[in-house]
Structure 1
């Protein structure tokens, strides 16, 4: 599975070192192996303006983050496209702007 993203260079420095490492793990492992269930990590489908997208729920030190992505089955090859990774509300705002 191929993983592409629109997470900008200015986005990642806003995240902790641990979340930046997690981002690499999501791109290189979790989304490649199990994009729908994220190997058991909390995730959900989105509605409204982001219908068809999913959000991976990440909590760090009491702060809620969301990684917003979409899975494309067709045309082949199957792929994951990541729109944003930020604190909860900001992640959704960025995703809406980037879709």
Structure 2
């Protein structure tokens, strides 16, 4: 993507922090993981697309670029966070969980 250098660098920094902090905090029993959502359909996010017609066109464009064929829902991102906060993920440390409908795999 053009003009997303700083955005991409900040995402990489967050992932790096997770790995580094996981190592630094392991003695305190603190696990650090990252959730990387892609296009999540929220009122604020879709409002930034502009008027209703433009928003529909953007949603269609996003859906065409994501293998799952749609934008994600807030509940889907929340479920990933809840998993990482639960005991079910007790052996997950320093990871990056993509919640992106497969967009990262393209």
Task: Give the number of the structure with larger relative contact order, counting CA–CA contacts within 8 Å between residues 6 or more apart.
Answer: 2
TM-score under structure 2 length normalisation: 0.24
Of Structure 1 and Structure 2, which has the larger fraction of its residues in strand? Answer: 1
